[in-house]
Amino acid sequence: MSEIVGGIFTSHVPAIGQAIARGIQNEPYWKPFFEGFAPIHDWLSRTKPDVAVVFYNDHGLNFFLDKMPTFAIGAAAEYRHEDEGWGISGYKPYPGAPELSWHIIEQVVAAGFDPVTCQKMVVDHGVTVPFELCWPGTDAWPVKLVPICINTVQHPLPSPARCLALGRAVGDALRRWRGSERIVVLGTGGMSHQLDGTRAGFINVEFDRFCLDSLAANPEALAAHDTLDIVELAGSQGVEIINWLAARGALGDAVTELASNYHVPISNTAGASLLLEAKATVHA
């Protein structure tokens, strides 16, 4: 019998990877952010997940403005980091879980979603930075990867409510999976930030706090916002919070918040991490 053990939510800005590569995690600018992962490391050492289902957004690596799927799911046996020099080097391949990926794809299509299926896929800092944050200094990744990509770049964007529903469909698929894996769900991106235009450097602490406060107990409060409302509230890149919302949906209704951390600014963004433990079991 497999089990969803919980969810980890984190920023994935490339500068985090650069800080790791340079070994400056304990410098005053970065230390408050990296310290937030101590309870996450402890939790991972106890729960020992076998698979990470990661909701993130592609940054022009697999998809660009001329071809931008709303949702895409990786079904490869292996993924490699090819992030064009951003963040950290991709020297460790990411083992896939293709059978589980196909199961998720089949189940979410049956639930009314139409993801693009990627039997070949590379990953960028949306995946690699969170992996380095969660499992630092490892020779090989201790989990298999199922990447689920959400469009946060090219309008029209999926609504927060639609992303929450996608996450719930993925969670239902995991609960139907006939396996023995321990599964952790990751939501990556955000929080509030804007990288260009007249609002470059924009951070909305109040909205970020609302997101952190709502995700565990009341994700519907965040899902009630329109996508363009979130762009206005959190910045054009802050809309990546919909990745967090999808990951939250996959965990099911019953969760316990174990850790939360918020630090501004890091690389003109609001950096945060959140750890939720799931109470539901995936029944084979």
Split into its structural domains, the chain has a count of 1
Measure the CA–CA gap between 169 and 184, rounded to whole angstroms: 16
User: Which pLDDT does position 282 carry in this prediction?
Assistant: 43
In a domain, 123, yes or no: yes
Residue 4 lies in a domain: no
Active-site residue flag, 59: no
The pLDDT of residue 281: 47
Domain range for 162 is: 12-278
Q: What is the pLDDT, as a whole number, of residue 128?
A: 93
Beta bridge partners of residue 4, listed in sequence order: 183
DSSP symbols for 145-201: EEEEEE--SSSSPPPHHHHHHHHHHHHHHHHT--S--EEEEEEE--SS---SSTTTT
Catalytic residue among 81, 103, 125, 263: 125
Q: Is 41 a catalytic residue?
A: no
Bridge pairing between strands 269-278 and 3-10:
antiparallel
Q: Distance between CA atoms of 206 and 2, rounded to whole angstroms? A: 38
Strand partners, 186: 8, 54
Catalytically annotated residue among 193, 225, 263, 283? 193
Q: Please tell me the distance from the alpha carbon of residue 91 to that of residue 187, in angstroms, as a whole number.
A: 23
86 domain-assigned? yes
Q: Which residue in 156, 151, 149 sits closest to 247, CA to CA?
A: 149
What is the spatial distance between Cα 1 and Cα 16, in angstroms, rounded to a whole number? 36
135 domain-assigned: yes
CA end-to-end span of the chain = 5
The per-residue pLDDT for 64 is 87
Q: What is the pLDDT of residue 283?
A: 43
Note whether residue 193 is domain-resident.
yes
Asked if the structure places residue 284 within a domain, the reply is no
Q: Tens-of-pLDDT digits for all 284 residues of the chain?
A: 789 999 999 999 889 989 998 999 999 999 999 999 999 999 999 999 999 999 999 888 888 888 889 999 999 999 998 876 666 776 789 999 999 999 999 999 999 999 999 999 999 989 999 999 999 989 999 999 999 999 999 899 999 999 999 999 999 999 999 999 999 999 999 899 987 888 888 899 999 999 999 999 999 999 999 999 999 999 888 899 999 999 999 999 999 999 999 999 888 889 999 999 998 544 44
Structure-block tokens of residue 27: 């410098």
Structural domain contains residue 283 = no
Q: What's the CATH number where 206 sits?
A: 3.40.830.10
The verdict on residue 7 lying in a domain is: no
